Amino acid sequence: MSRDQGNLQHQRPLHARLCRLAALGACAIAVFIAGCAAGPQSPAPAARTPVPTASPDASSPVPLLDPLRTQVVFTAMQMVGVPYLWGGSTPAGFDCSGLVQYAYSNAGLRLPRTAAGQFAAATPLALENAVAGDLLFFNDRSRTSHVAIYLGEGRFVHAPNGGSQVSLDNLATSYWRTHFSGAGRIIPPG
């Protein structure tokens, strides 16, 4: 076998690999270009979380896009579907105040462990002035028995009682409307 034939046989596998690599690269570029050509897809309407459109009045100095409350809402929404667990305060299971404590802790604030303790730590405000990330309190007779994280437009995320899971709900629901006792805002120290 001549020296030129040996070189040619050695180059054929290399040439075949380079052709395959070039074809793979061309496919990747085509997929990338096709992806860029498509417009952004919006989430399904049911998945959208409403954002308040009215600006807070003078009695509500918190901006709508407050990073603390944004982080609280983000964390709480990630926990939707986690089972209810009495005394629970981790993603393995939550009760109502455990969910609130966990979401605020993830945003860098420590809160009391119970709904009553969180009610005492919150600055009261009218529901009309509440923004996403504020707290909603509910009572059972004369005591604060439940707490939720407000999302805006009457909606909230919470860990309802036993047998359920972290979920979204609405103040328009008869039970929550009749047991609603007030809204509160956690104001960071300093």
158 is catalytic: yes
Q: How far is CA 99 from CA 73, 77, 105, 187, in A?
A: 11, 10, 10, 18
Which of 125, 129, 136, 121 lies closest to 169 in space, CA to CA? 136
Instruction: Report the mean per-residue pLDDT for the chain.
Output: 77
Lowest mean pLDDT among 41-45, 64-68, 150-154: 41-45
Q: Which fold has domain 64-185?
A: endopeptidase fold (from Nostoc punctiforme) (3.90.1720)
At residue 2 the predicted structure's pLDDT band, cuts being 50, 70 and 90, is low
On the question of pLDDT at 19 being above 60, the answer is: no
What average pLDDT does this structure show over 30-36? Answer: 36
What average pLDDT does this structure show over 147-164? Answer: 93
**Which residue of the set 10, 27, 96, 179 is catalytic?**
96
On the question of pLDDT at 70 being above 90, the answer is: yes
HEC letters along the chain: CCHHHHHHHHHHHHHHHHHHHHHHHHHHHHHHHHHHHCCCCCCCHHHCCCCCCCCCCCCCCCCCCCHHHHHHHHHHHHCCCCEECCCCEECCEECHHHHHHHHHHHCCCCCCCCHHHHHHHCEEECHHHCCCCCEEEEEECCEEEEEEEEEECCEEEECCCCCCECEEEECCCHHHHHHEEEEEECCCCC
On the question of pLDDT at 13 being above 90, the answer is: no
pTM of the predicted structure, to 2 decimals: 0.67
179 is catalytic: no
On the question of pLDDT at 162 being above 50, the answer is: yes
State what percent of residues in the chain have pLDDT above 70.
66
On the question of pLDDT at 173 being above 90, the answer is: yes
Q: What is the pLDDT of residue 161?
A: 85
What average pLDDT does this structure show over 126-146? Answer: 94
**Which residue of the set 15, 19, 158, 179 is catalytic?**
158
- Domain map (residue ranges) of the chain: 1-35, 64-185
